[in-house]
Chain A
Amino acid sequence: MIAAQRLGDWTSRAPEMEEDVALTNIALDQLGAARLLLTYAGELEGAGRDEDALAYLRDDREFRNCLLVELPNGDFAVTVAKLFFLSAYQLPLYAALAGCGDERLAAIGAKARKESAYHLDHASLWVRRLGDGTAESHRRMQAAVDQVWPYVHELFAPFPGAPVDPTTLRAAFDAAVDPVLAEATLARPADGWAPAGGRDGLHTEHLSYLLTEMQVLHRAHPGAQW
């Protein structure tokens, strides 16, 4: 959902009209998956919270999103880098979920997997275009990859009780990412700093601002229907 919120900000701002359509489309997919997952989470919790209660009435300390998706959009290269790494993680994740024992999660995984494959294709194409485009675009794309890379590690940290063990997704991620970086004439950044905490509700300073904007209208009219 946080990824959808960030991508939605690109609407009417993209470098090409076709890209406006594509980014809005991806935002819509991400939001669709989030709605299914939040609705199911609310049902499992059994406390009467629906997708909107979970989206609009939790504070940032209660959000469990990874730090990667809450990072600001930056320039187009930063957005492409975020989408590239996110979809390279989500594709094997949703594929694994599609085969898991929980029927609801399996159905959500099966639907989202197809969308993630499209997102990964789209992001990969832009990584190659920008990396192997002009000197300026290469510089920006490398800078974006370097900036975003540290936030990738959190995606694969062990998570006890998760329906899919995140550590098992790393190989598929590397297999998707490495060849594209190489084709794009981009250097894979060295591993080192690995910020984390999103899964525990310990976020960057960016999330609170994002939620303030996202929740303002809903919170101003408690209990109202929309």
Chain B
Amino acid sequence: MYGNDFPAPDDAPGGGLLGEVAAAEAALREAAARRRGRAPDPDTDLEAYFADVIDADQKIEPRDWMPEAYRKTLIRQIAQHAHSEIIGMQPEGNWISRAPSLKRKAILLAKVQDEAGHGLYLYAAAETLGISRDELVRLLLDGRQKYSSIFNYPTLTWADVGVIGWLVDGAAIVNQVPLCRCSYGPYARAMIRVCKEESFHQRQGYEILHVLAHGTPDQKAMAQDAVDRWWYPSLAMFGPPDGDSTHSAQSMAWKIKRFSNDELRQRFVDMCVQQAEILGLTLPDPALRWNDERQAYDYTQPDYDELMRVIKGQGPCNRQRMEHRRHAHADGAWVREAATAYAANQAEKKEKVAA
């Protein structure tokens, strides 16, 4: 009931990036086929073995030895990613009850459901590194682990739902497509699946904006206002500029990251300029112009002080998002306890029957 029946222009989002996802999937399969069948000898130098696997573009799997710092970095990154999916349900969920047509309501419900699924999938990937989902949720609720800064901005109009699809999911995909080639197998596989669905969501968001931008003057103004509010927060999603990024160098050496924050941000800007033109909307940056020498667009950097404030909890919705999550968790405690008690009762009954 919620298929994409929008005759998208050829250069609508998704196309090129999906090709990269498919290529990463093929590479993953080749790497699996190449994999040396034997485990390292007991007297192997594990660190050297680990470095060899990374050098050969093979995947590290849960049972493989890995440096403690590699494990910790991955847990932090995958958990933050999972938390973002779960918190990210809120800004869009905010419009489910008011979606302006039944078709849009169905698409939005399906999308938010996908996000919950991505969260579950990513928590499962993190669990392969030896931490439980309960612990990760606890770290989120205690504010000791982060989620993406973007979800601390409010969705004020229906057009925001479209912009979240186009820009926020678009930025997420640009960020995540290279992770399909990440050195940790479970994360790479999760990213392949997540990217495929996200690019579908991105197209749907783009479609919402396309309809608004070609609708009534009020609808077009609503779309432009949403783009104006979300453009810089979306650029900030790629993180601080390369000079200030603390984890980058090590993550690149371990082949967790493949490109720097600034490289990915540039790629995203170049992609969006064309798409905005097709939409008939403007990006709110007077300095945005093609640079022939660099073969890329020059653009104004986001306000990184604002990014730091939002990350530290001072964004418009940080408190509201956390409060909502804590409430849902606390209100559901009696239900989870009941499910546990019921399962124990049932197991006991089965045992009695067996005896």
Contact = CB atoms under 8 A, between A and B. Distances in A.
Interface of A: 1, 4-5, 8-9, 11-21, 24-25, 27-28, 31-32, 34-36, 38, 51-52, 55-56, 75-76, 128-130, 132-134, 136-137, 140, 213-214, 216-218, 221, 224-226
Interface in B69-101: 86, 89-90, 93, 96-101
Given A12-B93, A129-B342, A136 B102 contact: no
Given A12-B93, A224-B215, A28 B106 contact: yes
B106 A221 contact: no
Interface in B50-84: none
B158 interface: yes
Interface stretch (B108-116, B270-278, B286-294): B108-116
B338 to A, nearest CB: 3
A166 B174 CA distance: 54
B144 to A, nearest CB: 19
Interface stretch (B180-188, B189-197, B245-253, B327-335): B327-335
Contacts of B96: 8-9, 11
A73 to B, nearest CB: 11
Nearest to A35: B102
A20 B89 contact: yes
28 contacts: A1-B102, A11-B93, A11-B109, A12-B116, A13-B328, A14-B328, A17-B116, A19-B335, A20-B116, A21-B117, A21-B120, A24-B113, A28-B110, A31-B109, A35-B102, A56-B100, A128-B342, A130-B335, A133-B338, A136-B334, A136-B338, A214-B97, A216-B98, A221-B100, A221-B219, A224-B215, A225-B211, A226-B101
B104 interface: yes
Given A21-B113, A129-B339, 11 more contacts: A4-B105, A8-B109, A12-B93, A14-B332, A15-B333, A24-B112, A28-B110, A31-B1, A137-B335, A224-B216, A226-B103
A224 B101 CA distance: 10
B98 A213 contact: yes
B100 A5 contact: no
A132 B340 CA distance: 11
Interface in B1-57: 1-2
Nearest to B325: A12
A15 B86 contact: no
A28 B101 contact: no
Contacts of A9: 96-97
A31 B106 contact: yes
A226 B109 contact: no
A135 to B, nearest CB: 9
A71 to B, nearest CB: 16
Interface of B: 1-2, 86, 89-90, 93, 96-106, 109-110, 112-113, 116-117, 119-120, 123, 158, 208, 211, 215-216, 218-219, 324, 327-328, 331-342, 345
B335 A16 contact: yes
A4 B103 CA distance: 13
A76 B1 contact: no
Given A24-B113, A213-B97, A214-B97, A137 B324 contact: no
Contacts of A134: 334, 337-338, 341
B102 A51 contact: yes
Contacts of B86: 12, 17
B338 A137 contact: yes
Contact of A16 (B113, B158, B324, B332): B332
A12 B158 CA distance: 18
Contacts of B345: 132-133
A194 to B, nearest CB: 29
Nearest to B96: A8
Contacts of B333: 15
Nearest to A25: B113
B261 to A, nearest CB: 29
Contacts of A214: 97-98
Contact of A12 (B105, B215, B324, B336): B324
B90 A31 contact: no
> Which residue among B2, B105, B219 has the maximum number of chain A CB atoms within 10 Å of its CB?
B105
Nearest to B212: A226
Contacts of A36: 1
A222 B332 CA distance: 40
B127 to A, nearest CB: 13
Contact of A5 (B97, B106, B117, B215): B97
Nearest to B343: A129
Contacts of A224: 100, 215-216, 218-219
Contact of A221 (B98, B216, B341): B216
A11 B99 CA distance: 14
A18 B335 contact: no
B101 A76 contact: no
Contact of B119 (A8, A17, A55): A17
B93 A129 contact: no
A158 to B, nearest CB: 30
User: What are the 9 tightest A-B residue pairs by CB atom distance, in nearest-first order?
Assistant: A15-B332, A133-B338, A137-B338, A15-B335, A12-B89, A24-B113, A129-B342, A226-B101, A32-B1
Contacts of A75: 331
